[in-house]
Structure 1
């Protein structure tokens, strides 16, 4: 809320850093760690038999293109000297010889 930090002289936070030796303490002025954003992408297709892919809309293919595009964002659209991470969890395809009607991508952006 507005004014919540009025009168505050200092803020301290603790964070685990795998790049620092165990048992050490480091201090930095200003922001030092990024926020995390979680989201789920829902891609809907049209289910059907894999023997007739021309009659279906395969959301797994669309998910693959989405993964590539998101990975390119972190490497092509921002300063390489700035830390950035976009993690995508595995794609799960259920069934044999069946194109699913839905594909979910679970992701986090740091």
Structure 2
């Protein structure tokens, strides 16, 4: 395929509306992906605080975890963000925060 043929192909895709549609879909996908990463990063920060608080306040693993989950869900409910996260995501962030705290990377 020569360069002229490639230019003609791209021009035809653009004029037919296929290329702009693909561009819009790509931008939407990237935007959603970055927004999701931003929300998860915020959830990780909340989980760090909740795990630290539960570690200091309560004795016992299950009690600490239950209180950390309660603290996170209460915070998300007040911020009207609870619908953005699943129970599994919250549980995974707590496990991550506990792991990081044990490794010493989170204080």
TM-score category, normalised to shorter length: 0.3 to 0.5
TM-score (norm 2): 0.32
Bigger radius of gyration: 2
Larger RCO, structures 1/2 (Cα 8 Å, 6+ apart): 1
What's the TM-score once normalised by structure 1's chain length?
0.32
Name the structure with the higher strand share.
1
